[in-house]
Amino acid sequence: MNEINTIEKKRGKAYIALFVTIFIVSMFIAGYLIGGTLSYSTTASSETKQLQQQLETQQKSNNAATQNIIYVYNDTSLAQLYQNVRDSVVVIYGLAPQQSFFGTQYAEVQGSGFVYEYNNENIVITNKHVVDGASDITVTFSNGNAYPATVLGSDDYSDLAVLSVQAPVDEYHPLEIVSSSTLNVGEPVIAIGSPFGLGGTMTTGIVSQLGRTIQDSVAGNFLVANIIQTSVPINPGNSGGPLLNYQGDIVGITTAIIQNSNGLGFAIPSNTILREIQSLVTTGSYDQHSWLGISGADMKYSIAQAMNINVTYGWLITQVTSGGAADNAGLKGGDHQVRINGERTLIGGDIIIAIDGTRIINGDFLMSYLEEYTIPNQIITVTIVRNSQILDISIQLGTRPAST
C-alpha cells in the first residue's frame, strides 16, 4: 500500500514537472513570436516613414521645378517673346452680306492681323478673305481699344489685304518682316491670333514643308502658290495673324487649314508680302503674277506606264489655253483619254520637267517656282518631254487674268 502511494506521488510530481516545462516552452515561443512581430512592425513602420518622407521631399522638389519652368529655344523665352509681340497683333471684325430666304442678311466676320510700318505709315496686314466684301470693318488692339478701318489694297492670288486704321500713333507697335527664303523644314515657328474670337492666343509648331499650293475662296479657279505648310495649330479666326520665327520676326501670315485634318496649317510666306506691299499700299492691287496658261496633273508611275515612257516626275499638260503664253510657244496638251486606276485621265501632252534648269517634280514645284522667281513678260526656258524626247522651249510669260 505504501509502495502504491509512493509511486502515485512520484507520478504526480512528474506530471507537474512536465506541465511546467510545456508552459515555459510555450511562453518562450510566444515571446519569440511576439517579439519578432513587434520588431518587424517597428522596422516596417520606420522604413515606411522614411519612404513617405522621401516621396514628400521629391514632390516638393517637383512642384518647385514646375513652378519655375521657362520654355526656351536657342536662349529665347517663349513667354518673353509673347510679351514683346502681343501688342502688335490685332483682331479684325466686319459685316459680310449673306443671301438667305429673307433676302440679304449681314453676319459678323472675324479674323486676325498685325501692325507693320511701311514708308513711315502704320498699316495692318491681314488675309483678303477676312475682309472680302465686308463693311463696317473695325480693328481691336490688345488693350481692347477698337477703331474703324478701311481696305487700302488687296490681292486675290496671294490672299493679302492691307488696312488703314483710324487709331492714334501710340496704339501701333509694328513688327519686322524678314525674308522667308531662309526657312527650312523643321524650324520652329509661332502663330498668334484670335481663334474662335479668343484674342491673343499663341501656339507653336514647326515648318512642315515649303512650296505648297492651296485652293482659296478669293482666288477663283486659280491656286495660291508657294505656301508654307506648318504644324502650328490654326483655327477659324487665326486667318491673317502673324507666323513668327523665334526672334519675333514675321516669316508668314497664317491663312488656311484643311478641315478635319490634324496639324495641317498653311501660311503665306513673308517674301510674298515684301514683294507686294508697295503696290498694295500705293495702287490698291498687285498684278505681277506670271501665267503660263496651262492646266495639268502630277506625273506618276501609272501615268508613265500608260504613256509608255520612263519619266515618273514632272507636270503633265492636259490642256493649253488658247492665246496664252504656253500656246504661243507651241506647248501641247493631251490628245486622248485612258482609264488609270478607275479614273479617266487625259494623256499625250508635254511633260514639264524643268524651268531654267530647276527640276520640276510636280505641280506644286511648278507654280511655286513661277510665283517666287518670275514676273510677267519674263522669258524662261522650259524643259519638256514630248514623244520620249527632251526639248528646251523658250516662253515669254503672260499675266494672270482676273480671278473668277
pLDDT of the residue at 46: 47
Is the pTM higher than 0.85? no
Annotated catalytic residue 159: yes
End of a domain among 110, 145, 171?
171
* Any domain includes 28: no
- Looking at this protein, which amino acid is placed at residue 106? Y
Of 129-138, 145-154, 260-269, 326-335, the range with the lowest mean pLDDT is 260-269
Number of domains in the chain: 3
Q: Are residues 263 and 296 in the same domain?
A: no
- Looking at the fold, whether 309 and 389 belong to one and the same domain comes out as yes
Q: Is the pLDDT of residue 204 over 50?
A: yes
Active-site residue, selected from the candidate residues 154, 158, 180, 239: 239
Q: Which long-range contacts (CB under 8 A, 24 or more apart) does 100-106 make?
A: 106/135
Asked whether residue 74 is assigned to any structural domain, the reply reads no
Confidence class of residue 258 from pLDDT cuts 50, 70 and 90? Answer: low
CA distances 67 to 27, 34, 80, Å, are 59, 49, 16
- 340 and 251 share one domain: no
Asked whether residue 164 falls in the same domain as residue 194, the answer is no
The reply to whether 239 belongs to the active site is: yes
pLDDT at site 354: 98
Among 129, 194, 290, 364, the active-site one is 129
Please report whether residue 94 resides in a domain. Answer: yes
**Coil, helix or strand at residue 106:** strand
Is 296 found in the same domain as 260? Answer: no
Domain that holds residue 127: 82-171
How many Cα atoms sit within 13 Å of 90 on the Cβ side?
32
Residue 39 has, within 13 A of its CA and on its CB side, a CA count of 6
Amino acid 341: pLDDT: 84
Q: Residue 69: helix, strand or coil by DSSP?
A: coil
Catalytic position from the list 154, 156, 158, 159? 159
Residues 378 and 310 occupy one common structural domain: yes
Residues in the chain: 404
Beta strands 135-140; 76-77: pairing state: unpaired
Same domain membership, residue 275 and residue 197: yes
Residue 75 confidence class, pLDDT cut points 50, 70, 90: low
Q: Is residue 48 part of a domain?
A: no
The SS3 assignment for 65 reads helix
234 found inside a domain: yes
Task: Compute the chain's Rg from CA coordinates.
Answer: 38
Q: Compare 51 and 178 and report the one with higher pLDDT.
A: 178
Q: Which residue has the higher pLDDT, 169 or 15?
A: 169
Active site residue 129: yes
Of 127, 154, 171, the position where a domain reaches its end is 171
Distance CA 97, CA 79 (A): 39
DSSP per position, 338-395: EEETTEEEEE-S-EEEEETTEE--SHHHHHHHHHHH--TT-EEEEEEEETTEEEEEEE
Q: Are residues 278 and 294 in the same domain?
A: no
Residues 368-376: what's their mean pLDDT? 95
Backbone phi, psi, residue 308, to 5°: 60, 45
pLDDT of residue 61: 46
CATH number at residue 272: 2.40.10.10
What residue type is 396 in one-letter code? Q
pLDDT at res. 235: 82
Does residue 378 lie in a domain region?
Answer: yes
Cell digits of residue 246:
523665334
- Domain end, chosen from 234, 255, 282, is at 282
Examine residue 42 and state whether it is found in any structural domain, yes or no: no
Residue 58 lies in a domain: no
CB 173 within 8 A of CB 87: yes
Convert 133-195 into a string of H (helix), E (strand) and C (coil): CCEEEEEECCCCCEEEEEEEEEECCCCEEEEEECCCHHHCCCCCECCHHHCCCCCEEEEEECH
pLDDT tens digit sequence for 383-397:
999 998 999 999 999
- Give, in order, the Cα–Cα distances in Å from 59 to each of 45, 71, 143: 21, 21, 39
pLDDT at 272 > cutoff 80: yes
Task: Return d(Cα 309, Cα 301) in angstroms, integer.
Answer: 9
Which has more pLDDT, 33 or 183? 183
What DSSP string runs through 204-261? Answer: EEEEEEEEEEEE-GGGTTSEEEEEEEE-S---TT-TT-EEE-TTS-EEEEEEEE-TT-
- Give yes or no: residues 132 and 233 share one domain: no
| Of the listed ranges 72-81, 115-124, 131-140, 338-347, the one predicted with least confidence | 72-81
Using CA atoms, how far residue 93 sits from 113, 151, 284, in Å, is 11, 13, 21
pLDDT at 8: 43
pLDDT tens profile 18-66: 444 444 444 444 444 444 443 333 333 444 455 455 545 555 444 444 3
